[in-house]
Amino acid sequence: MQFDKEELEKFRLSGKILRETREEMRSYPKENMPIIEVCEKVESTIRAKGGKPAFPCNVSINEVAAHYTSPPGDTLTIPEGSTVKVDLGVHVDGYVTDSAFSVGFNPEGRSMVITAELALKTAVENIHGDMALGKIGSLIETIIKNRGFKPISNLTGHSVGRYLIHAGLSIPNVAQPVSFAKVKTGEVYAIEPFVTLPDAVGRVDDSPQTTIYRLLKTKSVKSEYSKKLLKYIEVNFRTLPFAERWIIGVVPKEQHKAAFKELLASKAVMGYPVFVEVSKKPVAQAEHTVLLKDDGCEVLT
Ligand code: MN
Ligand code: MN
């Protein structure tokens, strides 16, 4: 996807809001803090700066690699000694930027965080238009392995579009078998290395839990309340992911559960499973969104 000058300015504004929010939040997560407090603080900070969350703030702990946001009334807290990933997204008129940081409340976690950041920095410094995907993956994998850790092989970066977090192209975190696919100048990509321990399997699997959702189709649903909820989702989030927290109160409290259940059952709305490292080893992540140029990239976040 190529973007004109006006669109790129919206990406830049989105990225600026994200960067400011991320830097303000870097030291915010503390041991024993309710996870929902981090999610809500990140999301309200984005809104206060004039952006909108492009997806619910993910706060994924230890072996949970991604896709956990607090469900309504979440009572989970950040465990002592844990490794915490905070993944946040901003959109301005649908132009999405996506970035993440991690915090290690233990020495090994801190070392994984540094490794994820170093792998990201190296990828950002070396990526350019027409670079083969396999080469980017190989670069990230080498940095991570040289520091004695392992990349998560089935989590990837991605191209970004308007109202689209994943616009089609995946950017691997490991060397790939020969692939002719390349990144292109003028496109926007999120790069996101995930790091785990050397004795981990280094892959994630779906867990049965879902906390993040997205509109699939605006199909007809039976109950009035489901209709109202679906309309609200369509108007407010379009094709972007949302949290159940964000739609509480749209229909009367007593009707919410059944109405939301109907949207999921009818496949008007889909849920993203929480990703867990297969061998239950802790994971750290770093992420930036970049605009690709012929000779390098502009970091938007
Ligand atoms: Mn992200
Ligand atoms: Mn991403």
- Looking at the CA of 18, name the nearest ligand: 1
Query: What's the pLDDT tens digit per position in 149-168?
Result: 999 999 999 999 999 999 99
Instruction: Identify which ligand lies nearest to the alpha carbon of 212.
Output: 1
If you measure from the C-alpha of residue 66 to the centroid of ligand 1, how many angstroms do you get, rounded to a whole number?
Answer: 8
The secondary element (H helix, E strand) that includes residue 291 is strand 288-293
Taking the CA of 58 as reference, the closest ligand is: 1
Same domain, 282 and 191: yes
**Interval between CA 221 and ligand 2 midpoint (Å):** 31
Structure-token pair, residue 48: 């206060």
Q: Are residues 111 and 218 in the same domain?
A: no
Say yes or no to pLDDT of 177 above 90: no
Distance 220 CA to ligand 2 centre (A): 31
Out of 74, 93, 108, 166, the active site residue is 166
Has 87 been annotated as catalytic?
A: yes
What integer pLDDT is reported at residue 217 of this predicted model?
A: 87
How open is the CA angle 84-98-67, to the nearest 5 degrees?
Answer: 45
Predicted local confidence at residue 219, as pLDDT: 79
Same domain, 135 and 249: no
What backbone torsions phi and psi does residue 236 show, to the nearest 5 degrees?
-90, -35
Q: Is 168 found in the same domain as 153?
A: yes
* Catalytic residue selected from 43, 63, 87, 117: 87
Catalytic residue among 67, 91, 158, 288: 158
Active-site residue among 98, 141, 187, 244? 98
Q: What is the pLDDT of residues 55-80, one digit of tens each?
A: 999 999 999 999 999 999 999 999 99
* CA of residue 287 to ligand 1 center, whole Å: 6
pLDDT tens digits, one per residue of 268-293: 999 999 999 999 999 999 999 999 99
Residues 49 and 64 in one domain: yes
- Catalytic annotation present for 224: no
Q: Please list, in sequence order, all residues whose beta carbon lies within 8 angstroms of the beta carbon of residue 16, skipping any fewer than 6 positions away.
A: none
Tell me the CA–centroid distance for residue 222 and ligand 1, in Å: 34
Which pLDDT does position 240 carry in this prediction? 97
Q: CATH number for the domain including 263?
A: 1.10.10.10
User: Ligand 2 centroid vs 157 CA: distance in angstroms?
Assistant: 6
Query: By CB neighbour count within 10 A (0-12 exposed, 13-18 middle, 19+ buried), where does 126 fall?
Result: middle
166 is catalytic: yes
Task: Domain count for the chain, please give it.
Answer: 2
The answer to which of 50-64, 104-118, 216-230, 256-270 has the lowest mean pLDDT is 216-230
Q: How far is the CA of 98 from the centre of ligand 1 (A)?
A: 5
**Residue 294 annotated to the active site:** no
Check whether residue 229 and residue 124 sit in a common domain: no
Active site residue 158: yes
pLDDT for the residue 178? 66
User: For residue 180, what pLDDT band results from cuts at 50, 70 and 90?
Assistant: confident
Q: Which of 63, 117, 192, 262 is catalytic?
A: 192
Q: Are residues 220 and 78 in the same domain?
A: no
Host domain of residue 216: 212-272
User: 142 and 219 in one domain?
Assistant: no
* Residue among 31, 67, 84 at smallest CA distance from 276: 67
Same domain, 177 and 97: yes
- Which residues of 80-229 form beta strands (DSSP E)? 83-92, 95-104, 150-151, 157-160, 170-171, 188-191, 194-196, 204-215
- On whether the pTM is more than 0.95, the answer is yes
For residue 131, give the CATH number of its domain: 3.90.230.10
CA of 248 from ligand 1 middle (Å) equals: 24
Q: Looking at residues 122-127, what average pLDDT do you find?
A: 98
Contacts of 111 (CB under 8 A, 6+ apart): 104, 147, 149
Which amino acid, one-letter code, is at 90? V
Among the bound ligands, the one closest to the CA of 285: 1
Percent helix, strand, coil in the chain, to 5, is 35, 30, 35
- Residues 141 and 263 grouped into a single domain: no
pLDDT band, very low/low/confident/very high, at 113 (cuts 50, 70, 90): very high
- The better pLDDT of the pair 68, 179 is held by 68
Ligand 2 center to residue 6 CA distance, Å? 23
Residues 232 and 118 placed together within one structural domain of the fold? no
Q: Which ligand is nearest to the CA of 191?
A: 2
pLDDT at 88 (0 to 100): 98
72 and 114 fall within a common domain: yes
Give Cα 10 to chain centroid, integer Å: 19
